[in-house]
Structure 1
Amino acid sequence: MTQLDELFEQIGKFVLKQADFTFMRAQTIVKQHTEKLSQIGDIAFPITVQPWLNAIETNSAESRNDLKQIINESETEFARKLCEASTEWMFHIEMVKFSEFRCLLFLNRPKCYSDFLKTVLYDDASYGQWHHHNTNDDNTNYAVEVVKQSNDNSLVAHRLQLITKVLINLLRSSGFEANAAKFDVNSLENNNLTEVLVKSARRDGGKRANRQSELELNNNANRKSITIICGNVTICRPGLTADDFIRLRSLEMEKTAELKHGHNKENVIIDKCQKLGAATVTFDFLKIKHFNTINFEKSMTTPSTIKGAAFILYNVARLQTLLASFDHQVARGFYDPLPKFDQIDFGLLKEEEEWQMFFVYIVGYPNLLERCISGIGTGNIAIHLLCTFLSNLSALFSVYYHRVKILTDNLPQLVPVLYARIYLLKALRSIFLKALAILEIESLDQM
């Protein structure tokens, strides 16, 4: 269970006054907002009865009949009690508003920053692990195996290998045990293992029908065997290998660098372009749902195809450079060393982008990992959500970076907020690097 799952469960139990309300059902009715947080709140839930009736898992008619209305007293009294109850939760509710048929919750931002950033920064290795091992859990361990193609350097084979590696990374980052290995049937039955086969789609038929026919194999096979279908890759140059494709993308990066910096063939520039080329291919392969066909026939020479990974890595490099610049200024005595975490006033973080980066992306990261693999039991994973997450976070950070001067003058009225921002950006860097590592993309310190 993630921290947000726990909050949703706490809200559900408060609203329904039912101890058996579970977090899996709460996710369907208590919603986290992702934008315009100052206007519409951080979290919302309906105050009409029917949506909550649909979310109640108990079949007791008596329990349902007891739920005549969500707010049994005045809105003011309901809001007061909810804020008071939340003082026992990780996320404290500061304000409650009502809009039409919804209840809007505004969290106590300074409290959330100080409590949650500490978890991210000092439990960095385990942050994101929403799954906790349970001896009664039949799906704790996964053995992920790629069904190889005849041409191991083909684009489809490369896509298969990427999906396999990223799936293993996702499972491990979420708290599961996963390995790239093949196990016999006895191992699967005796060692609490689930076999995951990653295989390419057949080439005879539509992508959806093809996917469905393959998924039906899961229902007839051993209950501990899952098939993940990988769609085909079409391209305008038949016979083009994965290595060839990566070289083409790397050359595109070199041409872009030449336009920007002149004819500079230094090894450092070439090395960065090669890494960018590999990252671009990886991102292009993973941003599409795994069962869909990827069509490069029209996009081979389109510059827009190289913007995704490059834009993300460019902003990560900006972030790395900014934090390195701060450390350099400390070393040369311009700034005092960063104070201890408990001495920071996070109430100074007033910018909307700061709260959005924190609440939507840092706090929301474990839930993202959960969504990526929640459908694995039916052969449906969502690696593409991680790509979308990184793209959106990069866009938000880019706006923030251009709008807010972070490394300010060393003045008493400016330095305290600088220190708070440095801690926030350290946590943001951690999320960026974790997500890129899952996708098998190497970050760059500079662009």
Structure 2
Amino acid sequence: MNDPLKEFTKNLNNLLTGRDEDEQGTLIKKHSSNLHAFGEFSFPNTVKPWHEYMHEEADCNFLTYIRKGPDDIINASKEWKLSVKNVKFFNDRVHLFLDRRTAIQVGLECCAANNNWIIQKLNDKQDVAYIDPLCDGASITALRVKCLVHAINGLVAINSKDLPKATRVVVTSKSLSNCDEQQIVLCGPVLNAKTNLKENNLSGEDFIKLRQNELMLIAQHKYGLRAGTEDKWREFIAHLGHSAVTFELLQTRPSSAVKINFDVSTGCSKGAAFILYNCARLETVIRTFNERVVDGTYPPLPHITNTDFSLLTQEEEWALVLGYAAGAAGALAGCGAQPHRLCAFLSALARILSQYYRKTRILTASCYLKSSLWQKCCH
């Protein structure tokens, strides 16, 4: 996958040290908050952290030692996919501010290419993870094992280039499993949050029905009784319940026990439901836009090279592009057999998207009639 953030880190590290280091071995830090104040990347400007790259002791800062300054970084980055627009110094660190206008285009282009690549990989995937036969049952813990197997197979397919061909992974909830395989992933039990004991009274199917009923109550409260009577609503809630349960069971590190509150009245699936709701919100925005292009309400999207991304000035817009559109490749590559990291990534994405949507109403009639932003973008 295309990972412009990892590529930027590699290019910058090479400029500073003359070496190609992997992302984990570099002193360059990618920021996730306060980007407007502290930039997107930073690195220490004291010599001590860089001692392994230095041939002699020095009583100056690191940039002075390597005989480089802000202009050298800015000029060198002009040849990279992501370029540096400004350099500032805070508390013995060098902070880099990217050229957002070009970076947004690069991030969206990489996201589109990666999306197509991921779809192909998932369609062509071959299962390498399997359920320990001793764990194949109807319990909620057994359901967690099944969910973990499915998630690992998807993540492995996406990152298959780094995987030995003969790899076989067995997922088990038995700490003393007799599986003689190359790799064993231990799956922790599902505990009842009230008793702190392993849940044995409810089956996995019961748990799914419990969450489906909860989501149906929420839908009826928000949309009226029709949410419980129409077939399309029942199908939607059934799918949503499965997805919510999957997220709940995978959001904790696989080897750790996951505590579940089974009391419907507490709204325990709200974390998963929040992510799924924002996913549905995105799907609705895209579908509505396409429908209104067909009926002539909106013009078609311009080509990405003809779009003025300098009009995207809100911090949430930049965070969505840099951290999530451009950052998805790195997030997926870093998951391995740990889907809880992907769950954390999706939770953070949903929070930013929700914040942005509350501030910026999208595809509303008033926005279209009162604002010339659309026309400016499609120059």
SS for the counterpart of 2:134 is coil
Q: Which residue matches 2:351?
A: 395
Which deviates more from structure 2 when the two are superposed, residues 388-397 or residues 398-407? 398-407
Distance 1:316 1:419 in 2: 26
User: Is residue 75 of structure 2 the alignment partner of residue 84 of structure 1?
Assistant: yes
Paired letter, 1:71: L
Q: Which residue matches 2:252?
A: 288
Aligned ranges for residues 163-242 of structure 1 at < 5 Å? 163-176=148-161, 192-202=165-175, 225-235=182-192, 238-242=200-204
Q: CA deviation at 1:192?
A: 4.1
Distance 2:74 2:156 in 1: 36
Q: Which residue matches 2:62?
A: 70
Q: What are the superposed Cα offsets for residues 304-362 of structure 1, whole Å, 9 maximum, x if unpaired?
A: 41112211111121122222222232222222222222211111111111000000111
User: Is residue 220 of structure 2 the alignment partner of residue 258 of structure 1?
Assistant: yes
Unmatched tracts of structure 2, length 5 or more? none
Which deviates more from structure 2 when the two are superposed, residues 388-397 or residues 402-411? 402-411
TM-score (norm 1): 0.74
Distance 2:40 2:162 in 1: 33
Q: CA deviation at 1:280?
A: 1.4
SS for the counterpart of 1:240 is coil
Q: CA deviation at 1:128?
A: 10
User: Is residue 203 of structure 2 the alignment partner of residue 246 of structure 1?
Assistant: no
User: Is residue 316 of structure 2 the alignment partner of residue 360 of structure 1?
Assistant: no
- Over the matched positions of the two proteins, sequence identity in percent amounts to 28
SS for the counterpart of 1:81 is helix
Distance 2:256 2:48 in 1: 37
Distance 1:98 1:164 in 2: 47
Specify whether residues 163 and 176 from structure 1 end up closer, same or farther in structure 2 by C-alpha distance, changes over 3 A only: farther
Q: What are the superposed Cα offsets for residues 172-222 of structure 1, whole Å, 9 maximum, x if unpaired?
A: 1224488xxxxxxxxxxxx841222211143xxxxxxxxxx98xx99xx88
Aligned ranges for residues 92-111 of structure 1 at < 5 Å? 92-111=83-102
Q: CA deviation at 1:151?
A: 5.1
Q: Name which of 308, 314, 318 aligns with 2:271.
A: 308
Q: How many residue pairs get matched?
A: 363
SS for the counterpart of 1:409 is helix
Specify whether residues 192 and 323 from structure 1 end up closer, same or farther in structure 2 by C-alpha distance, changes over 3 A only: closer
Specify whether residues 161 and 85 from structure 1 end up closer, same or farther in structure 2 by C-alpha distance, changes over 3 A only: same
Paired letter, 2:14: K
Q: Which residue matches 1:50?
A: 48
Q: Does the aligned pair in 2 maintain the 1:349–1:417 contact within 8 Å? A: no
Q: CA deviation at 1:107?
A: 0.3
Q: CA deviation at 1:74?
A: 11
Q: Name which of 275, 282, 305 aligns with 2:239.
A: 275
Distance 2:77 2:57 in 1: 24
Q: CA deviation at 1:412?
A: 7.9
Q: Name which of 106, 123, 141 aligns with 1:156.
A: 141
Aligned ranges for residues 367-386 of structure 1 at < 5 Å? 367-373=330-336, 381-386=337-342
Q: Which residue matches 1:427?
A: none
Distance 1:332 1:391 in 2: 35
User: Is residue 294 of structure 2 the alignment partner of residue 331 of structure 1?
Assistant: yes
TM-score (norm 2): 0.86
Paired letter, 2:169: V
Paired letter, 1:147: D
Paired letter, 2:167: T
Query: Runs of 4+ in structure 1 displaced over 4 angstroms?
Result: 66-69, 127-130, 417-420
Distance 1:109 1:240 in 2: 51
SS for the counterpart of 2:116 is coil
Distance 2:242 2:361 in 1: 33
SS for the counterpart of 1:95 is strand
Paired letter, 2:351: A
Q: CA deviation at 1:302?
A: 5.1
Distance 2:371 2:56 in 1: 60
Q: Does the aligned pair in 1 maintain the 2:28–2:43 contact within 8 Å? A: yes
Distance 2:170 2:136 in 1: 18
Q: Does the aligned pair in 1 maintain the 2:189–2:256 contact within 8 Å? A: yes
Q: Which residue matches 1:445?
A: none
Distance 1:338 1:116 in 2: 17
Q: CA deviation at 1:410?
A: 4.8
Q: Does the aligned pair in 2 maintain the 1:142–1:193 contact within 8 Å? A: no
Q: Does the aligned pair in 1 maintain the 2:128–2:168 contact within 8 Å? A: yes
SS for the counterpart of 2:138 is coil
Distance 1:382 1:201 in 2: 18
Q: Does the aligned pair in 1 maintain the 2:107–2:321 contact within 8 Å? A: no
Q: CA deviation at 1:159?
A: 0.9
Q: Which residue matches 1:11?
A: 12
Distance 2:259 2:371 in 1: 56
Q: Which residue matches 1:36?
A: 34
CA RMSD of aligned residues (A): 3.0
Q: Does the aligned pair in 2 maintain the 1:286–1:383 contact within 8 Å? A: yes
Q: Does the aligned pair in 1 maintain the 2:278–2:353 contact within 8 Å? A: yes
Q: CA deviation at 1:64?
A: 3.6
Paired letter, 2:159: S
Specify whether residues 409 and 331 from structure 1 end up closer, same or farther in structure 2 by C-alpha distance, changes over 3 A only: same
Distance 1:361 1:170 in 2: 17
SS for the counterpart of 1:65 is coil
Aligned ranges for residues 102-141 of structure 1 at < 5 Å? 102-122=93-113, 124-126=115-117
